[in-house]
Structures are given as structure tokens and as C-alpha cells.
Amino acid sequence: MSTAQPRLKRERARSREIFERAEKVLVGGVNSPVRAFRSVGGEPLIIERGSGQHLYDADGNELLDYVCSWGAMILGHANPAISEAIAEQARRGTSFGVTTELELELGTLITRAIPFIEKIRFVSSGTEATMSAVRLARGVTKRDFIVKFEGCYHGHADSFLSQAGSGLATLGIAECPGVPAALAALTLNVPYNDLKAVERVFLQHKDKIAAVIVEPIAANMGVVPPEAGYLKVLSEISKRNGALLIVDEVITGFRLRNGSVQELFDIEADLTTLGKIIGGGVPVAAYGGRAELMDHVAPLGPVYQAGTLAGNPLAMRAGIAALTQLTKPGLYEQVTQLAQQLVFGLRAELANAGIPAQINAIGSLATVFFTPDPVKNYNDAKRSDTKRYARFFREMLDRGIFLAPSQFEAAFVSAAHTVQDIDRTLAAARESLEAISSDSAA
């Protein structure tokens, strides 16, 4: 039953004061744009610490966290085994610039869980992983074009910023100042979940496409799962045309199961990128695939890629501690079940409030789109009422529930969340949606 949800301390005075000072030193007061809350309004959060499913802001407010550092914290914040591993490594040294056995250990955990990754290279961010995978694909195929999907995000490398959604994007015209038009023209954007568009682009650029890069479950336009058979046929089209398939699992890797989601869709990428979860909350990402392909990377091959802090021992220890815990039987079932309770409950609350919305969900990923129509691609997603999302976000935050500060992001459930958390979230959602429907009535 719905009980009145505790409100945050109204005055987030200290947070506000810190943010005001941050704006003078950091661009927009942040180090990554969405953190500035521009699309939802209100005061950006300033976090002091995290524990399990909770974050604590600079004013001491406790928040139930569904952002989970954009999915990285699948075991919750300050997971004891991860924290202990990091502390122990810190005492032994934090960076050597030469190989440690830890890199082999994390590499083995990953290649065991994802057998079609025979060899792997660690980098420090998802952006580096996708950028390097594309370079490798171009180097191996000796072709220049890549295909990406509107609304899929692969980090901020130049090739991926010819943005999704507009007519310009399909022409590969740079929308982000600073991306050379000549480079943007090599990125071909097509709608997600549309195989005919992929066939067309391969016809138009015969023998010129090096790679197709895709999020197997799109989660950066809000959650948009692939339609039945989509990824399988996409992989066949790529292969038939001599292009490599790069599956970007920076979000999905170790998110739905202990390994890749590609098994669920009966595909095996030529190259797979990983990030977020594999670092246990410390900067780690990776790309990998068949040995015969990866052996084109330096020092074995001519495709150059390097990193001063790549394979960093602190990060490796955190990753090992995270992935070791993810092998626990039943863990993914439990997280998925909680996410399902949340999704079913939210659907019921939305229906009760008479608010048209779609919830796209799979595993422990979910997005509430405020639109009456199904969301299967970026154009559908963009029809959502983002003002209403912003309102919902602020009402929920007022009740101590931290959702993604954008309509076009996923909510993440972690292994630290509980049934009580879901109940509390649903009660807060009921109050929030009541508040929203009363202002639309007014």
C-alpha cells in the first residue's frame, strides 16, 4: 500500500553551494554532460559517498540509486570485496607501466565467460574500446566506412558523433563542431531494428564498409531491445558483405548474465567491446575477439593502440573482485526478478494514473518512455514527452529515488536492491504520477 514517502531535506544548500563553486572550475560544473541535469532541470546532485543501493548527497540525504554509475555498479556501491581488493592493491603500488599477472587474471575471467573472445586488450574507457575496435576493423578490411545505428551510443570518438536522428545524420554530416566532415562522412547512420535500411546501405557502399557497430540491446536512447531475429540477420548481412560485426557490450556485458548477451540472440561478433561492469567501478574497458583478428594489433600487428594506464593494477583488482562475485549462482535471476517487479508495478501505476507510457525492459535494464506508441527505434523514442519525464524525475528525486537524469537513458537495478526498495519505489511512483496527472487536469 502506498504510504507517504519521506521527502528530501528541502534545502540542498551545501550541494548547491558546492555546485556553484564547481561551475567556476569545471566546465558546466561537471566532467560528463548529463550530470548537469540540463534536460530534467533542478539542482544537480553532489554525492559524498555510496553504500549498497544508496547514495548520500552532500546534505546527508539518502537516495535510492537506479543510475548505478550508468550500470557499472551491478553489485552496489562500496561492495566490501571490491573495496578491500582496491585497498590491498593500493598498498602494493597503483601503476607500474609494465605487465602484471592481474591483467592475465581478469582477461581469463572474461575470455572464459565469453569464449568467442579469444584475445583481449584492456583500455581505460568505453570510448577507447570502440574507437580501437573500429580502427582494427578498418586496418584488417582495408575499408573506410562504418555503419552505426541512430540513437546507439559508442562513446565520444569522432566517428561516432555524427549523431543519430536527423536527416543530416544519415548523410554523415558532422553535427558536433570539431568533428571533421571528411571523417563524419565515413559513418553511415541507419535506423535501429530496420534490416532493409542495412541492406540498402551495403548496396550503396559495396565493398567499402569495414564494420557494423551495434548495441545488442540499445540502452542509450532509453532501452530498446532488438526485434526477434534482428541481430542474427544483421550479423549475416555483415558477413555476406565482408564487413566485421562489432558488438558494443559496454553496457550489456555482464549485465544480463555472467558474460555476453550475444548467446541470447544466437550471434558471435567478430569484435566485442566491454566496459562499465568489468571494472567494478574503476575505469576499465576492453575490446576483443578471435585471435586471428586481434593479432593485427601492435605489437603483433601494425594496428597501433596503446595506453599509459591500460591494464592498471587497481582497476584490474576491482574488475577481478567484481567478476568473481558475478559467478554466484542465482545472482542474475534475482536481479532480473526484482527488475520485473519494478516494471510490472510501474506499468500498473501508470495505467492507474491514466498516463500514456511505454516501459521497455529486458533483464535489469528498463526505461519509462512517456509516449502512447511503442518505441522500437530512435525516432519513436524522440516522440516521448521529455517535459513529463523531467517532471517525473524531479518528483521521484524529491522522494529519495534517483532515476537517470534524462529520458534517453536506462534505469539499472543492482544486486544490492531489495524487494523493500521496489515497494518503496512503487509507492513513490504512485505519489509522483498522481501529482503529474493532477497538474495535467488543472
Ligand X SMILES: *Cc1c(COP(=O)(O)O)cnc(C)c1O
The reply on whether position 238 binds ligand X by CB under 6 A is no
The reply on whether position 153 binds ligand X by CB under 6 A is yes
User: Residue 58 or residue 179: which is nearer to ligand X going by CB?
Assistant: 179
- Residue of 36, 197, 250, 362 that binds ligand X (CB under 6 A): 250
Active-site annotation holds for 192: no
User: Residue 353 or residue 403: which is nearer to ligand X going by CB?
Assistant: 403
The reply on whether position 280 binds ligand X by CB under 6 A is no
Taking contact as CB under 6 A, which single stretch among the options 105-113, 148-156, 301-309, 379-387 is the one that binds ligand X? Answer: 148-156
User: Residue 150 or residue 248: which is nearer to ligand X going by CB?
Assistant: 248
- Residue of 50, 76, 126, 259 that binds ligand X (CB under 6 A): 126
The reply on whether position 164 binds ligand X by CB under 6 A is no
The reply on whether position 154 binds ligand X by CB under 6 A is yes
Closest CB to ligand X belongs to which residue?
Answer: 126
Active-site annotation holds for 248: yes
Instruction: State the minimum distance, in angstroms, from the CB of residue 252 to ligand X.
Output: 8
The reply on whether position 67 binds ligand X by CB under 6 A is no
- Residue of 201, 223, 278, 285 that binds ligand X (CB under 6 A): 285
Of residues 195, 193, 196, 135, the one with CA closest to residue 160: 135
Taking contact as CB under 6 A, which single stretch among the options 94-102, 126-134, 318-326, 419-427 is the one that binds ligand X? Answer: 126-134
The reply on whether position 130 binds ligand X by CB under 6 A is yes
User: Residue 12 or residue 154: which is nearer to ligand X going by CB?
Assistant: 154
- Residue of 248, 380, 398, 409 that binds ligand X (CB under 6 A): 248
Active-site annotation holds for 287: no
- Residue of 44, 107, 151, 155 that binds ligand X (CB under 6 A): 155
- Residue of 61, 79, 89, 125 that binds ligand X (CB under 6 A): 125
Q: Which residues lie across from 401 on neighbouring strands?
A: 64
The contact set with ligand X (CB under 6 A) reads: 70, 125-127, 130, 153-155, 215, 220, 248, 250-251, 275, 285
Q: Any idea which residues carry the catalytic annotation?
A: 153, 248, 276
